Structure 1
Amino acid sequence: MNTIKKTVFKVFDKITQHQSGVDSLVRCLGPIFGKRFLTSGGIENTRAPYSDLPQSNDLNQTNSRSDIVLLTGRFRSGSTLLWNVFRQLDGTTSFYEPFNERRWFDPQTRGANVDGTHRQVNSYWEEYEDAEDLAEFYHEDWIRRGLYMDEGSWDGQMKRYLERMIEHSSGRPVLQFNRIDFRLPWFRHYFPNAKIIHIYRHPREQWCSTLQDISLFGPEDGTIEDFSSADKFYLRTWVNDLKPHFPFLAETSVHPYRHYYWIWKLSYLFGQQYAHHSLCFENLVAQPNQELKAVFDLLNIEIQDWTKIESIFEKPVTGRWQQYASNEWFRAHESECETVLDAFLGRSDATLKS
């Protein structure tokens, strides 16, 4: 043990000898240990007591705009469909996955591929044309580190990146994300007047959708440590980054559906807590006009002609989970997950808003 300790301290000492190493440590550990202590102390930034000292140099702050719409949902939740709905609206610029590693603003990296399961979508990047300056602020680490951010977290680069994107918009800016469900407290703090719309989908159907080919990893095929070849939507990345905050994610002896369910349920709870409106995917595709009207009413958007919006809806395939495993298999795993969440979060029998 002493040898291990000495090795760890030696590596740590070597890293901290250079500023770049210190910066890397801050970037990695900041979301866990670097919380801004003032947020819970009731301290706000008031004017300095001398008249010759300035106030904020940006009195018309982009992040305070009241027309911003943030769409949040997990991968394969129907978030692309929701983004495409807003893409049909006049006077709106609908940005797709701003944190995506394909860097939609860069013609050299984004490629031309479009997911064939994203129906009625021919490209993701039209709204990013002439926005190459976003590269100055973008960090790919946002897709794998700091996936949990509360109102006390600080990432000035992320804030400025999103502000520049908003400034590039023509009309109302709409930003669709798959990686902010555990960052919603941060967004509520730094974009205080934005409206957040949350979409969720039944976890069993969504699990099968993330696998794409359900034969890739069956109900008896192993644990999270065996999941790499079937992990199409970064489950292990999320587990590794979130487990300091939700320690039960460190469990390695169970089927990865449990890790998936834990993150799905926590994401749902965050959406219920911090979003202004939550949409059920199944209800959205069954009765789009009714479900969207509630969203548009919240945003004070009036739709005169629903034709364009209705044209992008196609009935999805359902019931794939029944081909994957039995109801008993799913319920056994889900019940164990709920028991852990009860212990960790406390239990409430209240039905949350929909």
Structure 2
Amino acid sequence: MSTALVAPAAVADPPPADPTPAGPTAAAERRGAELEELIRREPGRFRVLTGDRPTGRLHLGHYFGTLQNRVRLQRLGVELFLIIPDYQVLTDRDVAERLSEHVEGLLLDYLAAGVDPEQAVIFNHSAVPELNQLLLPFLSLVSVAELGRNPTVKDEIAHSRQSAVSGLMFTYPVHQAADILFCRANLVPVGRDQLPHIELTRTIARRFNDRYAADRPLFPEPEALLSAAPLLLGTDGGKMSKSRGNAIALAADADETAQLIRGAKTDADRRISYDPAARPEVSSLVLLAALCQDRDPHQVAAEIGDGGAAALKRTVTEAVNGYLAPLRARRAELSGDRGELRRILRAGNERARAVAESTLDQVRAAMGTVF
């Protein structure tokens, strides 16, 4: 088993949150600019933990929202831990269907997008039992009321497809805290809806340190790096989602992509403009083309002009298929060697376990449970 990695020093605490309702988000946005500058100057100071639940194919929303940024951070020199949280699939469903297929698909998407498995630690949750052993002491550090107040959990419960909510769903934020803290990550790229999870993780880290390691804090208090990713709507005008059939998967071929874009919702105004507030569906398509072409969306809209929805959809189809062509080619090449995919995942699991074992040993020592 590989040698455990040395955790980087924790970054300085962010400024106190604003007292206004928008305060935490505004503070995170201000801190984000500072963090980007620190990353540019000292990338080795940071360790990132992030990942995706293996519940289906990743799509363009995932790519422009998270994958592209992970590759950017890694290329800058930030240490990257990528978790495939297979246990967490059970938070909102009775069984984990087609799990092996989805885990392999996620790994293919990561590699095709440019994640370097020799540098990144890519691992699946269930292969690191030491990580899950952190859950019990962490649960002792939070109250039932604190878990119940978490807005993300409340939203997930409200939209759950289960007749009853499992204990796993209720404790989901503590599972996420264990995911982050087992490797002592100090930076977590998230969307605004995930800020409450990061704040609870910081609370758990702080309480553990105060209770068991006051003289020599064991865990950093990780910071949120807010995603600057623009909002891409699904082809039906709603939230882009794996389960709604309204997303363009990274694994989709050119014909499937063209068909999905042809069926995308637009509006009756023939002149194409970029106005996300007034014309969200049209503007999302314009933005998608602009992202793939690395251009300003207003310029893309102006060039289409009075061409209408048909011209807009042709432009988007050409842009998306052109942009994804090299990613799809690499994905197809990688998918032909399942043995290599398994080797990459086994190697990542071993590296993650080494880190988790080291952390758990120190947790036991701090808690006085080494006998």
Asked if TM exceeds 0.5, the reply is no
With the length of structure 2 as denominator, give the TM-score of the two structures: 0.31
With the length of structure 1 as denominator, give the TM-score of the two structures: 0.32
